[in-house]
Amino acid sequence: MKALKLPPFNEEKDDLDAYLTRFERACVALEVRPEHRSTQWARLLQGKALEVYQLERADKERAVELDKLKVESEAAEIERAKIETAKAEAEAKEKAETDRRRIEAEKLKVEAETVNARMEHEFKTRETEGRNRNSGAGGDAENAQDRDNNNGHGYIHTYIHTHTHTYIHTFI
């Protein structure tokens, strides 16, 4: 990139608007690309005008950096929100699964209690029927011996198998 052949801007002699117009015409005539014009402009400035240009350029660079930081901060905040959302969803799923298992366990407990109650009722019914049969038959020796060996109690052993491999043993 060639330097423009313009005299440097002299703030005591040159009018800024007129100098800027000459600068723009020279850039067009020499086909200086727009992205290179600021560099050409900086070469022609001196004194206070150069200081102002440098401050303005530094402010623009800071603004660009600030924009980058804002974008990075927003991206980090979005990522944090995604992580928190995923964590909350996982906790909700875990709670739902825990609740489902608790309800299933309660159902199995009620089912086991129901089976136990039915078996107990059936045992008592059979025990009563057995006593009635023995007392109706005159209490023959063989029935009396069986009744004495069992001490008047029957023996019921049940297994209830669940998906959690829990066994409930009931002895009556």
43 to 7, 24, 36: CA distances (angstroms): 10, 14, 11
Residue 41 lies in a domain: yes
Three-state DSSP class for residue 156: coil
Burial classification of residue 13, based on how many CB atoms lie within 10 Å of its CB (0-12 exposed, 13-18 middle, 19 or more buried) = exposed
Residue 48 lies in a domain: yes
Residues forming beta bridges with residue 171, ordered by sequence position: 157
pTM, 2 dp: 0.38
170's enclosing H/E stretch is: strand 170-171
Residue 139 lies in a domain: no
Which whole number is the average pLDDT over 52-65?
Answer: 85
Residue 65 lies in a domain: yes
Structure confidence at residue 118 as a pLDDT band (50, 70, 90): very high
- Dmax over CA atoms of the chain, in Å, equals 144
Q: Look at residue 136 and tell me whether its pLDDT is greater than 90.
A: no
Q: Look at residue 135 and tell me whether its pLDDT is greater than 70.
A: yes
Residue 60 lies in a domain: yes
Q: Which of 10-24, 53-67, 85-99, 106-120 has the lowest mean pLDDT?
A: 53-67
Residue 4 lies in a domain: no
Residue 29 lies in a domain: yes
More confident site: 163 or 46:
46
In the chain, the number of structural domains is 1
Q: In whole angstroms, give the CA distance from residue 111 to residue 158.
A: 13
CB 143 within 8 A of CB 134: yes
85 to 44, 73, 80: CA distances (angstroms): 56, 18, 9
Structure confidence at residue 90 as a pLDDT band (50, 70, 90): very high
List the beta strands (DSSP E) in the chain.
157-158, 170-171
Range(s) of the domain holding residue 46: 16-69
Residue 40 lies in a domain: yes
Tally the residues of the chain: 172
Which whole number is the average pLDDT over 19-35?
Answer: 91
Percent of the chain surpassing pLDDT 90: 34
